[in-house]
Chains A and B, each alone.
Chain A
Amino acid sequence: MTEKEQKKISAATREGKQQDGAASGDDKGVVAEPGAPPGGRERRLRQTTLPPHFVERRKRPRIQTQQPPPPAPPRMEDYAAIIGLPELDEIRFLARHLQHKTVKMVNSTAVGGGVAEILNRLVPLMNELEVPTKWEVITGGNDFYEVTKGFHNALHGGEYNLTEQIQDIFNSYNEQNRQRMEFAEDLFVIHDPQPVGLVRSKADTRGRWIWRCHIDLSNPHPGVWGFLKPMVEQYDATIFSSPAFTRQLSVPQYLFYPSIDPLSEKNKELEESYVDKVCDDFGIDRSRPILTQISRFDRLKDPVGVIAAYKLVKKYVDCQLVLAGGGATDDPEGAVVLQEVMEAAGDDPDVIILNLPPWSALEINALQRASTIIIQKSLKEGFGLTVTEGLWKEKPVVAGAVGGIPNQIIHKLTGVLVHSVEGCAYQVRYLLTHPEFANQLGKNGREHAKENFLITVNLKRWLLLFQILLGMARPSKPG
């Protein structure tokens, strides 16, 4: 097919948009119009034997343009089908001992960001278990959030000029919030560095104080860490997401892996017909292997390296690569990276690039479920929850051995760790040609996620920690 012919088909299909729109209008008002092509302009794809509708969708994927209403949050009993009744009973048993013990969780934002997402799920479940839990958000002016953003980057190793004025801004907003809040609960969980100074109220309370650090402190700016550390060491316990993210502290440090909710839009089971529909919307051919990396367009996720690995695989195995993520619309750097990705993909019709809006959880879920292999070839990573999502969906995962990924992938047992483009390509080829091994990795990966990375496991950890800190449970000493 010539480019001219392809354009004709594209135009014809665009004219048929009304029909498509009408058809999808049955989906309870969810509009599924053809979205803007990634990068804002249509990709030129070389001739292919793919059916025309695939080509059209690859150029102009049907991306949901309206945010759907949020679904009702799940209840504890809904998890029984996933973790089993005995496990659920154990959680209820741990919670029963804590009934009437009150908890306050404090962070710096009510919406957006991973911590708010976690608390949105965790707090209702705690309350349902009759462990009364309040969630409060600190307030601050732009100057405070500029300082905390600077701290965030500095704690990840960035350069920073910590002046006295900056310290004063941080301290005064923490003090304002401390004066505004009441601290009458039995347990206080303070999330991340922004509200860390609230611990100054500890002496006036009867409760136990926990600092939950969601960020990687392995290589912090010494000045900023030196400023925060005395506050952190006033807590009764601290929690980190990986042993690799910690610092030496005089207070106990616990390990709580981040978790996913198996009943969320991103992770719940889907009808096969819905997975088909999403693949159809994006022009993905389910009859051939699908390699997928889900992540925002960010150089640290190495999307260009993934394309290079795909090209090496493609010499031997006919497959497609899906690179799906967001961040290219509201982040100038993301747009630049997306452009680099488009250039690296060139006119290869089997590289499918999707710049998705933030409300695409269901579509991402479907893409992961349709995938033959999930890739997360990050060069630097936090915990890597997209890896967790892949493991949970019983997919073989090939991922960079960085950040929290080695906590999730036990090499060749629950997935495969790689260190280079060539290694990634080799492992993908091996898995594509050894489906039994790939299936076993997927099965082990799901069990690993079930055992360690589900919200129910995290809930159990919180209940256990609360009991230990309140002296209600005493850990047994091994012989």
Chain B
Amino acid sequence: MATQSAAHPHWARAPFYFNSAAHLLRISREKAGNLEELLEAIRTCSDTCIFQHTFQTLEEHHFIREGFSNDFSHWAFSSCNEVELAERLAAIDVREFTSIADLRERLVDILEDYLKKNSRAASRPAMEPFYMMAAELVVVPTPYVARNLEEFADGLRKVSIHGIYYHFIDARLRIKLNNNDFSVWLEKELDMGAAADRLNRIDIYTSTLEGVRRNILRTIESEIARG
């Protein structure tokens, strides 16, 4: 099927293979009892820890529509009562990052800046410690393959929510682009740049992952209806 002509607007040049991802949490050595320790932990922890507390946590809390962005922000708010810091950390949009190193740098910048202006907050004990966790992510193939838009819509309906996360959010770090697997496939294999663009603008922070799935499907179904 990979050789299907793209002359028909709905046949892809290459199929889309839906994958999913399963992850295990490893307890890391780093632990923070205050903001100063959090800053040090963020500087020194592994990339898999930064990934867990920013990208992966979005999947774990995919059902929350509002009020949750990343674990650092949540801890700054609920355990340290530092509302301004929590706001600034919550405003980090993981979609802007295609490397963990850049994301770590942003986190460090925000914390350093905040602690420079609020030095007493640095060593104030938090109500609960922050435990650094590392995500070990393993890709799980699924039986769903799409060679055209109809099959793509079908796969989107059937794949687990972890599959949506894997292709739509986790993808950025893999493909090193401010994009997602679905949009890349639509644009590259079906010449559907406009639809790809619409998909990439779906807001993952104001919608649940099920909501993201519905939004993607709406876009694809309207493309199918247009013929």
Spell out A's residues near B (CB within 8 Å): 84-87, 89-90, 93-94, 240, 243-244, 246, 248, 252-255, 401, 406, 410-414, 443-444, 447-448, 451-452, 460-461, 464-465, 467-468, 473-479
Contact = CB atoms under 8 A, between A and B. Distances in A.
A254 B27 contact: yes
Given A243-B131, A410-B61, A478-B55, A90 B160 contact: yes
A475 B51 CA distance: 13
Given A253-B26, A477-B47, 18 more contacts: A84-B160, A89-B143, A93-B141, A94-B140, A240-B27, A243-B133, A244-B129, A254-B26, A255-B133, A413-B64, A443-B63, A444-B63, A475-B136, A476-B138, A478-B51, A479-B47, A479-B173, A479-B176
B6 interface: no
Contacts of B25: 254-255
30 contacts: A86-B142, A86-B163, A93-B142, A243-B27, A243-B31, A243-B131, A244-B129, A246-B27, A253-B26, A401-B128, A410-B61, A410-B68, A410-B78, A451-B62, A452-B60, A460-B22, A461-B24, A464-B24, A468-B136, A475-B24, A475-B48, A475-B137, A475-B138, A476-B137, A476-B174, A477-B47, A478-B48, A478-B137, A479-B99, A479-B100
Interface in B6-43: 20, 22-27, 29, 31
Given A478-B47, A479-B99, A413 B68 contact: yes
Contacts of B78: 410-411
- Could you say which of B48, B62, B160, B176 has the most chain A C-beta atoms within 10 Å of its C-beta? B160
A412 B23 CA distance: 26
Contact of A478 (B22, B100, B127, B128): B100
Contacts of A473: 138
Contacts of B48: 475, 477-478
Contacts of B99: 479
Interface in B82-138: 98-100, 127-129, 131, 133, 135-138
- Could you say which of B20, B74, B140, B163 has the most chain A C-beta atoms within 10 Å of its C-beta? B140
Contacts of B26: 252-255
Contacts of A243: 27, 31, 131, 133
B63 A451 contact: yes
Give the 9 A-B residue pairs with the shortest CB-CB distance, closest first: A447-B63, A243-B131, A475-B136, A479-B173, A478-B51, A86-B160, A255-B25, A253-B27, A473-B138
A86 B159 contact: yes
Contacts of A451: 60, 62-63
- Could you say which of B24, B51, B139 has the most chain A C-beta atoms within 10 Å of its C-beta? B24
Contacts of A413: 61, 64, 67-68
Nearest to A447: B63
Give chain B's interface secondary structure class: mixed
A373 to B, nearest CB: 20
Contacts of A461: 24
Contacts of A90: 20, 22, 140, 142, 160, 162
Contacts of B74: 410
B214 interface: no
Contacts of A452: 60
A474 B31 CA distance: 26
A414 B78 CA distance: 13
Contacts of B188: none
Contacts of A444: 63-64
Contacts of A253: 26-27
B19 to A, nearest CB: 10
A116 B146 CA distance: 45
A253 B162 CA distance: 24
Contact of B24 (A87, A246, A465): A465
B173 A255 contact: no
B198 interface: no
Contacts of B218: none
Nearest to B74: A410
Contacts of B138: 464, 467-468, 473-476
A412 B64 CA distance: 11
Contact of A254 (B24, B55, B128): B24
Contact of B140 (A93, A240, A465): A93
Contacts of A468: 24, 136, 138
